[in-house]
Amino acid sequence: MLELLMTMPSVTNNPDMWNAVLARDASRDGSFVFAVRSTGIYCRPSCPARRPRREQVEFFPLPEAAEQEGFRACKRCKPRGAKSNDPRSDLVRRICHAIDDHDEEPRTLQRLSAEIGVSAHHLQRTFKQVMGITPRQYAESQRLKKFKANVKGGASVTDAMYSAGYGSSRGLYEKSSAQLGMTPATYGRGGKGMRIVYTLADSALGRLLVAATERGVCAVALGDSDSELTANLFAEYPQASIDSRDTRISPSLNLWLSEVLESLSGNPKRIDLPLDIQATAFQWRVWEELRRIPFGATRSYQEIAQAIGKPKAVRAVARACASNHAALVIPCHRVIREDKSLGGYRWGLERKRKLLEKERG
Ligand SMILES: [Zn+2]
């Protein structure tokens, strides 16, 4: 369920690139771009604009890779127009453009290969090496991006869907529950139209709330009182219709509740429940990484940042952990500070300490 398609490698910690940026070295234009997190803009190395602080900067091999991560091209230096001096980059850019031009009807690898004039194998391999994802994943993530932009821009879900090139709502639903983490009909509206049912139970760590939609679990929370837990649920989904009894969802909800309870006793060691949670691509990446931490082990925020290819994003990783909606299912309690102190826990530090003690056995 927590399938993650977008993993774009940004080239980090490269003093050579940073020096080229500081020197506004035009000879490096076309060999990489640098993006500034605080502005969301990316530039060619020679851009005349003022230099950002180093920690705000990320490097990408291509303009398309930076855009894939949500950065926009600088209007001043027009990085998309820089001529590349690397045949591999040229090839990958041509593939990106061929995909972008035909997003209404995704190209098969064979068609792309015929269009570009290189073997399917070479095309796929080069693309993956440079972009970190396959051409198909690129095409899907471009479509999804377009769809999200349309929905946020106020288009109806159906219109947004068709203009993003989804032939049928089915295709979109299949993608979106994994990638958006929320169904299209409810995305972008604070949970409006979402039907949530929840249940409460006693657990070794206090009261436990599990809430779900028809598609999966949307909240798992630990607390001292039922009123605190339900109030938080209503605050998280202010527009949703929330009920503690809904016969259509109840059977799965009870099953999911029992799985969470069983996992608290250490058996099974991994809970694999369908999730229906709204999240950004970055949050999904962090959460997916958290799900890889084995039972009984811990990782530092730094290690998670490194594992997702964003070694500088330690604080963003900590924020993604803090914004986790599904306690235990997404084991954010297994992330601690580098100095082995506990860091934070949304459901109380004492609970985090107990959980870790228990898991270490
Ligand atoms: Zn610029």
Residue 138: CB atoms within 10 A of its CB come to: 25
pLDDT value of residue 163: 67
Condensed to tens digits (0 to 9), the pLDDT of residues 170-180 reads: 454 445 444 54
Give the separation between CA 170 and CA 29, rounded to whole angstroms. 43
Percent of the chain with pLDDT over 70: 81
Q: Which of 215, 216, 198 is nearest to 207 (CA)?
A: 198
Q: Show the CA angle centred on residue 333, arms to residues 327 and 335, nearest 5°.
A: 135
Q: Are strands 72-73 and 57-60 parallel, antiparallel or unpaired?
A: unpaired
Query: Could you give the 3-state DSSP secondary structure of residue 361?
Result: coil
Q: Which of 104, 37, 96 is nearest to 61 (CA)?
A: 96
What's the Rg (C-alpha) of the chain?
22
Ligand 1 centroid to Cα of residue 40, in Å, is: 11
Helices (H), the chain: 15-22, 63-68, 87-101, 109-116, 120-131, 135-152, 157-163, 169-179, 226-236, 250-264, 281-290, 301-307, 314-322, 349-360
Residue 326 has phi, psi (to 5 degrees) of -120, 85
CATH T-level fold of 281-360:
Arc Repressor Mutant, subunit A (1.10.10)
Q: Which of 77, 96, 218, 332 is catalytic?
A: 332
Residues 303-331 have a mean pLDDT of: 92
Q: Is 43 marked active-site?
A: yes
pLDDT value of residue 152: 62
pLDDT value of residue 248: 63
pLDDT value of residue 227: 84
Query: Could you give the 3-state DSSP secondary structure of residue 53?
Result: coil
Ligand 1 centroid to Cα of residue 208, in Å, is: 50
Ligand 1 centroid to Cα of residue 47, in Å, is: 4
> Residue 37: what residue type?
R
Condensed to tens digits (0 to 9), the pLDDT of residues 110-121 reads: 889 998 999 999
Q: Is 321 marked active-site?
A: no
pLDDT at 18 over 90: yes
Q: Which of 43, 77, 96, 321 is catalytic?
A: 43
Give residue limits of the domains in the chain.
15-81, 195-264, 281-360
pLDDT at 52 over 60: yes
Q: Residue 20's beta-bridge partner residues?
A: none
pLDDT at 25 over 90: yes
Condensed to tens digits (0 to 9), the pLDDT of residues 180-223 reads: 444 444 445 567 777 889 998 999 899 999 999 877 889 999 99
Please give the CATH architecture assigned to the domain spanning 195-264. Answer: 2-Layer Sandwich (3.30)
pLDDT value of residue 155: 62
Give the separation between CA 142 and CA 100, rounded to whole angstroms. 8
Query: Could you give the 3-state DSSP secondary structure of residue 60?
Result: strand
List all residues 6 or more positions away from 293 whose beta carbon is below 8 Å from its beta carbon: 299, 331, 334, 335
Q: Which of 225, 256, 237 is nearest to 325 (CA)?
A: 237
Question: pLDDT tier at 165 (50, 70, 90 boundaries)?
Answer: low
**pTM, to two decimals:** 0.51
Question: pLDDT tier at 306 (50, 70, 90 boundaries)?
Answer: very high
Which CATH homologous superfamily contains domain 15-81?
Answer: DNA Methylphosphotriester Repair Domain (3.40.10.10)
pLDDT value of residue 193: 73
pLDDT value of residue 327: 93
Task: Concatenate the DSSP letters of all residues of 41-52 into one string.
Answer: EEE-TT--SPPP
Ligand 1 centroid to Cα of residue 129, in Å, is: 26
Contact of 179 with 279, CB cutoff 8 Å: no
Ligand 1 centroid to Cα of residue 241, in Å, is: 46
Query: Could you give the 3-state DSSP secondary structure of residue 149?
Result: helix
Average pLDDT, rounded, for the chain = 82
